[in-house]
Structure 1
Amino acid sequence: MNTMNSTKNILSIAGSDPSGGAGIQADLKSIAAAGGYGMAAISALTAQNTRGVRAVHVPPAGFLTEQLLAISEDISIDAIKIGMLANAQVIDELGTWLAQIRGAAGTAVPAVVLDPVMVATSGDSLLDAAADAALRRLFVHADVITPNIPELAVLARSPEAADWDSAVSQARMLAAEYDVLVLAKGGHLDSERCRDALIDADGVLLEVESRRHATGNTHGTGCSLSAALATHYARTGNWGTALRHAKDWLSDAISRADELSVGSGHGPINHFAGLWDGIRPAQAHDPLAQWWERISPIRAGIDELGFIRALKDGSLAREDFEDYLGQDALYLRTYARCMSRAAELAPDTESQRFWAASASGCLEEELKLHRGRLDERVPEPSATTTAYLNHLLAASHDYAVLAAALLPCFWIYQDTGTRLAAANHEAHPYTDWLATYSSPEFDAATAAAIDLVAGVHAGADARARAAMWRAFEASSAHELAFFAQTAADAPGAAAGPKRAAGLGLAGAAGHGEPVPVR
């Protein structure tokens, strides 16, 4: 087996579409567009075009197994996307093979994204009862399932969701029943924005949205998104980052679908629009996006912390919450000093104003924390808080390094705050606190901080860029340590769920106060 090539090998198991817009053909295009090497095992043959399906031929289930064995005995598989599976026998054959390769000793376990093709465009079911039961048995081998709204209703044994909240509720029920991540997709809903969300049994882990594009050429959208998601996960090891990249690419591919001229019905999306422009995907040449991907293990660690999970579900002890607030108030004082120092060092008026305004906001927030929640009690700084602040102060001699060191408190806080705000409800013991995590002002401040640091990075030499990365990475590690210093994460505290690994979710539509508050 060749292990020298670092390219990620992605296997699609699905039906074919001779018109090229959906199925295996769309998967291979999506995998290539996402930077992977695509392979295909065909589970069914269709005769279709942009106007509909004429016929379906399902080869013997044993032949699918032969295809899968031929690939897996020779080629390492980094991720698997599963699409159309026509009957129970095919599904069970696939399940047997998946159990073998995911249970084989000494081999890496490929990620599995399952796109359950269950409902025809007409609304008719594509699977009989036996196949439906077999498909549900297959979920044990999947990391993420990606049903559309009609398929989600079938799987949840509920009426079709008429709004986003209903879709999220169904996805959460499904995630709990099968212990799997569910990608809820809002493309079938009647709304101006298209919302997608990664959901587990506890609720929304990450929600992203995009503008709805006025086009009828969306053939193969579900196939394409799931294949891109599998590929980006294989490349990043992070479902949140994978979803952001896949969603951004898909939105662009849909927006430019009308540039193609394929058929007279519902045409395909434009998988390679960016490539044909001679433009690489934005994340491939965006250095800060690369920084964000490189700290994926740190962000995953934050999501797995007992403190974060207890704050999210409301079980966090009051004394732990107050300990956290006290350290945060102490942190904000020196953080404000460092942002004031950044304002002094900044080379232009716009940057000076940004840092000065952020510093002022920090001091206001620190005062609110003490007066509103800590009754003027000032705790002693912990060793963790002191270490983080010493790191920031040490960076204050160089503007580029300091700007990079200050950025994680914006970016990581916004990312984490997104999921905390999404979990809020009236009966939550910290409802007023979680409500502060949802603010367009902080979204804008975070975006401005990212753009500002990106501009500094663009004008820096190689040595300065390396120093900026080290400062950013160190601050990110300090963020994790800061969240982890309460009793909720003391030795012996309960561990996260079995699927916590790999869920360091990149922020999309983050939330928070106008100034960062961990």
Structure 2
Amino acid sequence: MSSASLLPAPAAAAGSLLETVAPPGRTSRDVPRVLAIAGSDPSGGAGIQADLKSIAAHGGYGMAAITALTAQNTTGVRGVHVPPATFLSAQLDAVSDDIQVDAVKIGMLGDAHVIAAVRGWLEKVRPGVVVVDPVLVATSGDRLLQESAEAALGELLPLADLITPNLPELAMLLGEPEAADWPAALDQGRRLAARTGATVLVKGGHLNGSTCPDALVNTAGLLSAEVVEFAGERISTRNSHGTGCSLSSAMATAQARLGDWEASLRAVKPWLAGALRTSGQLEVGAGNGPINHFHHLAQSERKGGFAELLRAETVADLEAIYGLGFIRGLAEGTLAEREFAYYLAQDAIYLNGYSRVLARASALAPTESEQLFWAHSAQQCLEVESELHRNWLSTRSVQTELGPVTKAYVDHLVAASAGGSYAVLVAAVLPCFWLYAEVGETLHAEYVAAGAQAGHPYAEWLRTYADEEFAAATLRAIEIADDAGRAASAGEREAMITAFRQSCRYEVEFFDAPSRHS
């Protein structure tokens, strides 16, 4: 349901609680084999160490070929030793002679001989996914690539599928001054994409302001648009050591699983935000500390894994939803318009009732943060109903009376809101976030994988599933439910599970109702 058809992600971050069932027809590996080619950081925050943590956090099997040894910690780099390039070639060959490499992340390379070794290996092995994080300067300001090797790096970049420079590195690759604002950064991203033929991830982390946007840029028509922007908030923390390494290796892993750069970034971005937001919990080092790669697992362990318990309840219902004719027809563009119109009409009615239930959750919430979250979600429901549903429905003759499934679902939620238990109410409203996010991500990914075909009658609707804001909202709703479950009594936890399970069943019935109605 469009608890807010404001939608995603991952929507879910890989390794997050959203990825419960592989979407139908997806041919990617559940556990991709990802090789990181990068330097070593003995303090564990960046380089190979960060890569392996990031790959594991996103469900991949991590491998490593070391390009350089550094003496560094959170305060800076004290020394760099680059072993012979022939030994790097031996490492690469040893791995690929024995193991199928699904994705490669390339980080610190050091000198031109190392770059030549990596380039020769890529041309020979041709991995399916190649992500290059052009590590030129460390966060501390220390140069990590010899100036004489910059030309060799430029020759390597056309072999990449994705390039992930920060803004100083983007400018250095182009031989230009660093971008002073976001439009200038996007222009530089276009030029690098055109020059290399790769997709470029332009990152706004070095810009001033409260926001931290990212964008995927490709000038060869490989994305849904030449520039696909992703909004984000700036997280105030000194602990950003290894952020670029972690992001690039996460993208390589997610891409090997999802096969869609836009879906991969929607999966990775919320995870990275959480890793930055919780980085202070690690208390590592006196300088620029590392991010918290496994924050999602630590939260689950601390909170007794209640959200994991709820996740298990969604598996059968997601499988049932994916098997519905309505869902298959919507993805393929073969769905009868009368069924889609009925679905939208019922969704508009549902959202009106759902917004009132979310307002009740806001009134019961124990913290200001949760109050604001539910209030904002309630407002989003009303905006979606007005701007998307009513605009579409106003041009067609559609039956708009309350359907039996819609009535039963809303009545169930209203009953949960009237019971006085905030925890049970949170569990009841969660499936409208969670299942809708998962189904929405699948439909959008399939639409993109099919080439975003022209003439698809539901293209505009499917594109709404790419809304990153709903991905973040879904993760927040899961977190709130996890908190509520941890604090609840045994009896209340059972009531939460019952309410959650019933809402999941109504989600299935709601998606099936248009076919039954017709």
- Shorter-chain TM-score bucket reads 0.5 to 0.7
Structure 1 residue 55 corresponds to structure 2 residue 76: no
- Structure 2 Cα separation of the partners of residues 11 and 439 of structure 1: 30
> CA separation of 1:177/1:440 partners in 2, compared to 1, >3 Å: closer, same or farther?
closer
Q: State the TM-score, normalizing by the size of structure 2.
A: 0.59
Match of 2:272 among 242, 247, 250: 247
**Percent identical residues:** 38
- Structure 1 Cα separation of the partners of residues 81 and 433 of structure 2: 55
Once the 2 structures are TM-superposed, how far is the Cα of residue 443 of structure 1 from its aligned partner?
10
- Structure 1 Cα separation of the partners of residues 60 and 468 of structure 2: 35
Determine if contact 2:108/2:144 at 8 Å carries over to the other structure: no
- 1:222 is aligned to 244
Matches within 5 A, 1:183-332: 183-201=201-219, 202-215=225-238, 217-235=239-257, 237=259, 238-256=263-281, 259-261=283-285, 266-271=287-292, 274=295, 279-280=300-301, 286=307, 332=344
- Structure 1 Cα separation of the partners of residues 30 and 190 of structure 2: 35
Which deviations, in whole Å up to 9, do the C-alpha atoms of 1:127-186 show, x marking residues without a partner?
445x33332333343232211111011223432012233223322332343332322222
Following TM superposition, the consecutive aligned residue runs of length 4 or more in structure 1 with deviations greater than 6 angstroms are 287-292, 326-330, 340-344, 351-363, 389-406, 412-417, 436-456, 458-467, 473-479
Which deviations, in whole Å up to 9, do the C-alpha atoms of 1:88-125 show, x marking residues without a partner?
3322321232233336xxxxx3x332110123554868
> CA separation of 1:230/1:15 partners in 2, compared to 1, >3 Å: closer, same or farther?
same
Matches within 5 A, 1:8-47: 8-47=32-71
Which deviations, in whole Å up to 9, do the C-alpha atoms of 1:55-110 show, x marking residues without a partner?
3332222221210111122233343221111233322321232233336xxxxx3x
Once the 2 structures are TM-superposed, how far is the Cα of residue 40 of structure 1 from its aligned partner?
1.3
Determine if contact 2:77/2:142 at 8 Å carries over to the other structure: no
- 1:74 is aligned to 98
Once the 2 structures are TM-superposed, how far is the Cα of residue 37 of structure 1 from its aligned partner?
3.5
- Structure 1 Cα separation of the partners of residues 81 and 181 of structure 2: 36
Determine if contact 2:67/2:114 at 8 Å carries over to the other structure: yes
Match of 2:171 among 153, 166, 186: 153
> CA separation of 1:98/1:335 partners in 2, compared to 1, >3 Å: closer, same or farther?
same
- 1:181 is aligned to 199
Determine if contact 1:274/1:281 at 8 Å carries over to the other structure: no
CA root-mean-square deviation: 5.8
Match of 1:83 among 107, 120, 126: 107
> CA separation of 1:281/1:402 partners in 2, compared to 1, >3 Å: closer, same or farther?
closer
Corresponding pairs, count: 415
- 1:429 is aligned to none
> CA separation of 1:285/1:379 partners in 2, compared to 1, >3 Å: closer, same or farther?
same
> CA separation of 1:461/1:280 partners in 2, compared to 1, >3 Å: closer, same or farther?
closer
- 1:484 is aligned to none
Once the 2 structures are TM-superposed, how far is the Cα of residue 252 of structure 1 from its aligned partner?
3.1
Which deviations, in whole Å up to 9, do the C-alpha atoms of 1:384-443 show, x marking residues without a partner?
x9xxx99979978976999789669985999899xxxxxxxxxxxxxxxxxx99999999
- Structure 1 Cα separation of the partners of residues 161 and 302 of structure 2: 25
Q: State the TM-score, normalizing by the size of structure 1.
A: 0.59
Matches within 5 A, 1:356-375: 369=391
- Structure 1 Cα separation of the partners of residues 509 and 191 of structure 2: 38
Structure 1 residue 65 corresponds to structure 2 residue 77: no
Structure 1 unaligned runs (5+)?
A: 104-108, 308-323, 418-435, 482-518
RCO comparison, higher one (Cα < 8 Å, 6+): 2
- Structure 1 Cα separation of the partners of residues 410 and 297 of structure 2: 44
Match of 1:95 among 105, 110, 119: 119
Structure 2 unaligned runs (5+)?
A: 1-28, 220-224, 365-374, 417-426, 445-463, 486-492
- Structure 2 Cα separation of the partners of residues 193 and 85 of structure 1: 31
Determine if contact 1:208/1:244 at 8 Å carries over to the other structure: no
Determine if contact 2:205/2:213 at 8 Å carries over to the other structure: yes
Determine if contact 2:182/2:207 at 8 Å carries over to the other structure: yes
